[in-house]
């Protein structure tokens, strides 16, 4: 989204902000829980007008300039969820599918982490994604889990943050939800702190760039593997986890042929199981994460591979019919000078 396009968006002021005790023991850390909304999800049997921003044909979308996020601050941890007014998570168990909620910093560009072997590349420099969530609920760490690695995502005092979301209601009841961002941060910027950028690599990174994947014709069990990419900067790979849609089994992240994270899909459970009559749907409710800092150097090789089994885990159905796409994405935080 361009800065010009952002001028057309209205502001989303927090519904509520809570100051809560930080989990990190690092000196000077503050923690806030920021609520945006309410957002109304119309019943699934409501005919919705076509929206070019939609990835799911019957979803609800929202795009705002988000106020209330601390500026001139170094972000250490974030956790983003969808909730009801009573604090319960709005998840698949209650018929709500979080396609994505993302917070994007228009004032910073994410440097390219790697290059493709040929001229084809999926991304050029783009505005930086600060934090976000999808159906896999998890915490993003811009430092080590104890918060003591000297790194973080620095938000400038004049930065403008866009909040973009897409949510699907699979029930015939109206739902009212809130987007909740739980963040830990240090005011200002610690001396010597490495700047962290959220990086995303797809298995299709060097193949034209369409992150929407479809099963090979006639295949139920299959894999996709990226081309061999080259690291462009020295730095540290911090927290990392895969993003897979229903059907995905795991995604493997390798540096110089060594696996630094085998992120496995987690299905079902209390928050990832939806029951409707005799039908039981277990969706991806999480993916396993890796946190140990891994040092990389310019020139190192990168590959990711994603593996699927639509027999064990059928693909998600769009509201109104049709099968949803697959994805094979590795999301990670990269600390660099």
Rounded Cα distance, 144 and 303, in Å: 23
Structure-block tokens of residue 96: 């709500």
If phi over 0 gives left and psi between -120 and 50 gives alpha, with beta otherwise, what is residue 260?
Answer: alpha
Distance in angstroms (rounded) separating the CA atoms of residues 206 and 87: 42
The structure tokens listed for 20 are 């809560």
Please state, in angstroms and rounded to a whole number, the distance separating the CA atoms of residues 48 and 41: 11
pLDDT of residue 274: 73
330-to-82, 167, 226, 300, 326 alpha-carbon distances in Å: 22, 21, 11, 17, 13
Contacts of 263 (CB under 8 A, 6+ apart): 240, 241, 242, 250, 251, 252, 253, 287, 288, 289, 290, 330
**Distance, C-alpha 207 to centroid of its chain:** 22
Q: How far apart are CA 308 and CA 326, in angstroms?
A: 9
Pairing of strands 235-244, 294-296: antiparallel
Which are the contacts of 254, defined by CB distance < 8 A and separation ≥ 6? 260, 302, 303, 304, 305
Name the one residue in this structure whose structure tokens are 């929407």.
212
The rounded Cα 223 to chain-centroid distance in angstroms is 22
252 HSE (CA, 13 A, CB side): 14
Residue 331's nearest CA partner among 197, 234, 214 is: 197
How many domains does the chain contain in total? 1
Tokens of 142: 């811009």
Note down the domain range covering 15.
3-336
Q: What number of other Cβ atoms are within 10 A of residue 88's Cβ?
A: 11
What is the number of alpha carbons within 13 Å of residue 219 lying toward its C-beta?
12
Residues comprising the chain, all counted: 337
SS3 assignment, position 93: helix
10-residue mean pLDDT series, the chain (337 residues): 62 96 93 97 87 79 95 96 94 88 92 81 68 75 90 96 94 96 96 92 85 86 95 95 92 98 90 73 87 95 96 80 79 91
Enumerate the H helices of the chain as residue ranges: 3-6
pTM, rounded to two decimals: 0.79
Q: How far apart are CA 319 and CA 328, in angstroms?
A: 22
- Give the residue among 84, 71, 77 at the shortest CA–CA distance from 20: 77
Distance CA 140, CA 78 (A): 5
């Amino acid at each position: 989204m361009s800065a010009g396009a952002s001028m057309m968006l209205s502001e989303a002021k927090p519904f509520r902000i809570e100051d809560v005790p930080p989990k990190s023991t690092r000196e000077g850390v503050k923690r806030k829980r920021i609520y945006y909304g309410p957002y109304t999800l119309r019943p699934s049997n409501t005919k919705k007008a076509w929206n070019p921003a939609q990835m799911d044909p019957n979803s609800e979308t929202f795009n705002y300039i988000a106020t209330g996020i601390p500026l001139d601050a170094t972000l250490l941890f974030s956790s983003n969820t969808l909730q009801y007014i009573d604090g319960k998570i709005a998840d698949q168990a209650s018929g709500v599918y979080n396609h994505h909620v993302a917070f994007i910093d228009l004032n910073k560009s994410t440097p390219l982490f790697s290059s493709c072997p040929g001229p084809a590349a999926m991304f050029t420099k783009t505005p930086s994604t600060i934090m976000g969530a999808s159906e896999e609920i998890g915490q993003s760490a811009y430092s080590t889990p104890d918060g003591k690695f000297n790194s973080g995502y620095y938000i400038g005092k004049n930065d403008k943050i866009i909040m973009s979301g897409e949510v699907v209601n699979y029930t015939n009841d109206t739902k009212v939800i809130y987007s909740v961002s739980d963040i830990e941060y240090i005011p200002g910027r610690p001396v010597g702190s490495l700047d962290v950028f959220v990086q995303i690599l797809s298995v299709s990174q060097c193949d034209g760039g369409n992150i929407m994947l479809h099963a090979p014709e006639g295949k139920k069990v299959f894999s996709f593997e990226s081309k061999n990419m080259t690291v462009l900067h020295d730095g540290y790979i911090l927290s990392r986890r895969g993003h897979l849609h229903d059907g995905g089994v795991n995604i493997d992240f390798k540096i110089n042929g060594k696996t630094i994270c085998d992120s496995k899909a987690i299905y079902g459970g209390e928050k990832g199981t939806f029951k409707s009559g005799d039908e039981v749907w277990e969706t991806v409710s999480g993916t396993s994460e890796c946190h140990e800092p891994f040092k990389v150097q310019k020139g190192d090789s990168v590959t990711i591979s994603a593996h699927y089994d639509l027999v064990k885990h059928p693909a998600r159905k769009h509201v109104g019919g049709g099968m949803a796409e697959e994805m094979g994405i590795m999301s990670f935080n990269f600390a660099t000078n």
